[in-house]
Amino acid sequence: MKKFVFYSFLISLVAILSCTKENGLSEEEIIQGLKEALKVGTDTSSANLHKTDGYYGDAIVKILLPPDAHGVLEHQHDPLLQAAGIDQKIEQLVLSLNRSAEDAAIEAKPIFVDAITTMSISDAASILHGTDSAATLYLKAKTRSSLFNVFIPKLQVSLNKPLVAGMSAYEAWEQLKSVYNPLCNPLTGWQPITSNLDTFATNKGLDGLFIKIAEQEKLIRHNVSYQVSDILRKVFGE
């Protein structure tokens, strides 16, 4: 009976210790490692997206027309739109949107790092042993709204810069609408473009950043060459 009680005590002790340690790591170390992975991922992602064609040259994050402007694509071969040079105006806008996102991407780094630093993490072990993008998904769920509010003024500055052929994204947007919207009436059945460019571009810019941070998280989890600090090697190393 005494042996049974003793063994039960040992089992309970192991269970208690396993709650405070995960593969020899404390919860604090796991949280530190997760945050470090997100910071490193943010640093790399914002720098890469800031480069020319960071967005535009990557099909996964490339920013296309807003959903309510898809009618332009549907009707772009209309003779009136062709006469107005609609093809060039579409490309001007798409390129301008991506150049604006690339310009603003570097501004996202301190915003993301601040959010990561101040973010509380619960159930760190589950995130550590979750999917390859578990930490990024947690960051997105916890901070997306606040990141949007801080990032949108940064992107608005970039949208106002004449980054393509001496024209800003705002100007390219108004130019496209000025050609297409007058043709939207009951006779044609076309719907006018009314979406907010600031909101659309900011959401797409953030989407691209989260996608790239998730890619970096996966690399950090599985490739030792991306574990560039002691805490990353300790938490994610084999």
85 in any annotated domain: yes
Residue 42 lies in a domain: yes
The total of other beta-carbon atoms located within 10 Å of residue 123's CB is 11
H, E, C per residue of the chain:
CHHHHHHHHHHHHHHHHHHHEECCEEHHHHHHHHHHHHHHHHHHHHHHHHCCCCCCCCCCCCCCCCHHHHHHHHHCCCHHHHHCCHHHHHHHHHHHHHHHHHHHHHHHHHHHHHHHHHCCCCCHHHHHCCCCCHHHHHHHHHHHHHHHHHHHHHHHHHHCCCCECCECHHHHHHHHHHHHHHHCCCCCCCCCCCCCHHHHHHHHHHHHHHHHHHHHHHHHHHCHHHCCCHHHHHHHCC
21: in domain: no
CA distance 219 to 224: 8
How high is the pLDDT of residue 12? 41
Residue 12 lies in a domain: no
**59 in any annotated domain:** yes
Q: How many domains does the chain contain in total?
A: 1
How many CA atoms are closer than 13 Å to the CA of 148, on its beta-carbon side? 13
Does residue 9 lie within any of the structural domains? no
CA–CA separation, 38 and 97 (whole Å): 26
* Phi, psi torsion values for 15, nearest 5 degrees: -65, -40
Model pLDDT, residue 23:
63
Write down the pTM of the prediction. 0.88
**Domain housing 83:** 27-236
Where the chain has pLDDT below 50, the residues are: 2-21
Q: Distance (Å, rounded) from C-alpha 210 to C-alpha 200?
A: 16
Q: Establish if 201 belongs to a structural domain.
A: yes
For residue 13, the model assigns a pLDDT of 38
Has residue 19 been placed in a domain?
no
Write out pLDDT tens, residues 165-194.
999 999 999 999 999 999 999 999 999 999
pLDDT in tens, 67-97: 999 999 999 999 999 999 999 999 999 999 9
User: Please, which residues have CB within 8 angstroms of residue 109's CB and are 6 or more apart in sequence?
Assistant: 42, 43, 46, 47
What pLDDT is stored for residue 109 in this prediction? 94
